[in-house]
Structure 1
Amino acid sequence: MKRHIITTADGSSTIQIEDWNEQYHSIHGAIQEANHVYIKHGLLFFIAEHEPAETAEISILEIGFGTGLNALLTFFKSEELAKTINYVGVEAFPVSAEELQQLNYTSEIADSKAIFKALHETPWEESHEISEVFQITKQQKFFKDISEENAYDIIYFDAFGARVQPELWTEDIFKLMYNALRPNGVLTTYAAIGRVKRILLSLGFEVERLPGPPGKRHMLRAVKR
């Protein structure tokens, strides 16, 4: 499938898959979307719910590591807040080195060049300390092969949309997500379609439909109560 780099509305870039008319991030702003959906309504929400800190470490699972943008933003937030984060990114088809070189996140996010490089150059299937408070493990596998239980505090569910990959938005996949979360764990996603909301509710999640990032009316956040 044809892929190329495009510039989104906030000036940050993303990868577009022409055959699907689908992007890795919102065309209305890649960085804006990541900050709104995953940092604000995922990480910061979880921290606010659990202050004062109840655990020494926050464990995050990203469904769709992709360009590494969500991990990059999470790294800087962990440094800012002095929160220790264990980050696991799952990706079946890693982005190529050539594509990564064309993304402009390091010019859009101050002092990020070395970190972005480290996130992508660390070997897959191994745990690596990027800083004293941020550890990452990248796993190359399909989402259906996730088997951890009660392992994560937060899930960034950033798979390609249900329009092009409906098999990633099924009850079976979200059951794996439910099992992977610890009690009171948070799943956040840019999606807001009714079918996904009904699946999450049926599995036992407490679900909120929240205002979406620029260009999108709504998004979903689910908590495992």
Structure 2
Amino acid sequence: MIELILTKDGSHTLYDSELGVWHHSVNGALQESTRIYIELGLWEKAQAGKEIRVFEMGFGTGLNVLLTFIEAQKHDYHVDYTTLEAFPLSVEKYSALNYDSLLGSDVLQRLHQLSWNQQHEVMKNFSLTKIQDDLLKYQFTQKVDLVYFDAYSPNTQPELWTEEVFRKIYEAMNEGGVLTTYCSKTVVRKALIAAGFIVEKHQGPRGKREVLKAIKI
């Protein structure tokens, strides 16, 4: 069963009671995603001043897509965004999320309603492709600049946090590409390094001491 939970910054997250996992930190879903994926990822890649190809592992609530979309509109970033999700949320669940009201937006429902496995031009500078697939089976068709790695934790889905998976992603990235993730466990850091990344530890959002940024040199 998936439950809607209000986190400490007033934004929603979801709790999967069957797996015993949260979609975001209970200390604040919005502040967590902003710190890890926007500040440490998008803002850095946007400095290059060209189109940014983003790949996200774990569409989930759609929060990372929404935040990236808002930033793209605010700063005129040109973003080609692909997101992977094996188990999309039901209409009941995503309709209850409060991200639009908190962010002064009105597009979250539309992002969820867009058809799967097809590219959509959401705005002139933002395209979105939602792929319903398993990362282990997924084949990249173009090089990417930025990866939001937001899968369930290694305790829940250890098969997604391996050297093999990270090498697959590494090979699909352009030079200078960046991967950011909330998980800073030693096993994850070692797997990223073994796959070829330079790995940095950064201060995490409230309630989390460290997060990781991995760079393809």
Bigger Cα displacement from structure 2, 8-17 vs 163-172 = 163-172
Q: Is the 8 A contact 1:15 1:24 kept in 2?
A: yes
Give the one of 70, 93, 97 matched to 1:99.
93
Cα deviations by residue, 1:153-177 (Å, 9 ceiling, x for unpaired): 0000000011111111111211111
- Which residue, 147, 167, 170 being the options, matches 1:175? 167
List per-residue Cα deviations over 1:158-201 (Å, max 9, x = no partner). 00011111111111211111112111100000010011111111
Query: 2 CA distance for matches of 1:128 and 1:215?
Result: 36
The match for 1:83 among 51, 62, 77 is 77
**Which of 196, 208, 217 is 1:216 aligned to?**
208
Instruction: Provide the residue aligned with 1:74 in structure 2.
Output: 68
Partner of 1:138: 130
Q: Percent identity?
A: 40
Q: CA deviation at 1:140?
A: 0.3
Count of aligned pairs between the two proteins: 217
Partner of 2:29: 30
Distance 1:176 1:201, change over 3 A: same
Query: How far apart are 1:21 and its partner, in Å?
Result: 2.6
Q: Is the 8 A contact 1:10 1:30 kept in 2?
A: yes
- Could you tell me which amino acid in structure 1 is paired with residue 84 of structure 2? V
SS at match of 2:148: strand
2:53 counterpart letter in structure 1: S
Where does residue 146 of structure 2 map in the other structure? 154
Tell me which residue corresponds to 2:179: 187
Q: In the alignment, what sits opposite 1:63? A: 57
**Contact residue 147 and residue 180 of structure 1 kept, 8 A:** no
In 2, Cα distance between the equivalents of 1:13 and 1:118? 18
User: 1:182 & 1:150 partners in 2: Cα distance?
Assistant: 10
1:63-105 deviation per Cα after TM superposition (whole angstroms, max 9, x unaligned): 0011100000000000111011000010000011110111111
Q: Root-mean-square deviation (CA), in Å?
A: 1.1
Distance apart, 1:149 and its partner CA: 6.2
TM-score normalised by structure 2 residue count: 0.97
Q: Distance in 2 between matches of 1:82 and 1:149?
A: 25
**C-alpha contact 1:146 1:176 (8 A) present in aligned 2:** no
1:13-44 superposed Cα distances (whole Å, 9 cap, x missing partner) = 01101133311111110000010000000000
2:154 maps to a residue whose letter is: A
CA distance in 2, matches of 1:120, 1:205: 32
The answer for unaligned runs of 5 or more in structure 2 is none
Pair 150,209 (structure 1): closer, same or farther in 2 beyond 3 Å: farther
Give secondary structure in 1 for the equivalent of 2:167. helix
In structure 2, give the amino acid aligned to 1:87. Y
If the length of structure 1 is used for normalisation, what is the TM-score?
0.93
Give, in angstroms, the shift of residue 150 of structure 1. 5.7
The answer (yes or no) to whether the contact 1:149–1:179 under 8 Å persists in 2 is no
